[in-house]
Amino acid sequence: MIDKILIVDDEEDILLALKTFYAQHNVEVIACNNGKDCIKKIEQGYTGIVLIDIMMPKMDGWDTIREIVNRDLIDQVNIKIITGKGTQDHSKIAELASYVQDYIGKPFNEDTLLAIIQ
């Protein structure tokens, strides 16, 4: 089981819920509410799982993933997409598919959240 996770979501209630859930499982949550902060954390040495929301203002999840790849930081992280969209955006996921480990829809359930860290 991992001991830390980077979560990128612009919805404060989602971040709070995930922090609370993972704290109960002794997992440190590093939270960012935008893509630029996510990239900074990775540049500062974060390695591991990144849960990243797709629909965010200014720099969406796809742009963030693309920037992680462009900055050659992709080897440091395992990206898992979290989204409230009901379906996958196949045109974008096709371009970045090899960099995305999983595509997880909201709302989450406890089993899904546990599977992410195991």
Indicate the domain borders of the chain: 4-117
Superfamily (CATH) of domain 4-117: Response regulator (3.40.50.2300)
Report whether 87 contacts 57 (CB < 8 A): no
Q: What is the pTM of this model?
A: 0.90
Mean pLDDT, to the nearest integer, of 7-36? 95
Q: What is the residue-averaged pLDDT of the chain?
A: 90
pLDDT digits (tens, 9 = 90+) for 67-108: 999 999 999 999 999 887 655 555 666 778 889 998 888 888
- Terminus-to-terminus CA distance in the chain, angstroms? 4
pLDDT digits (tens, 9 = 90+) for 41-61: 999 999 999 999 988 988 999
Tell me the C-alpha to C-alpha distance, in Å, between residue 44 and each of 29, 41, 49, 73.
16, 5, 15, 11
Length of the chain: 118
pLDDT digits (tens, 9 = 90+) for 103-117: 888 888 899 999 998
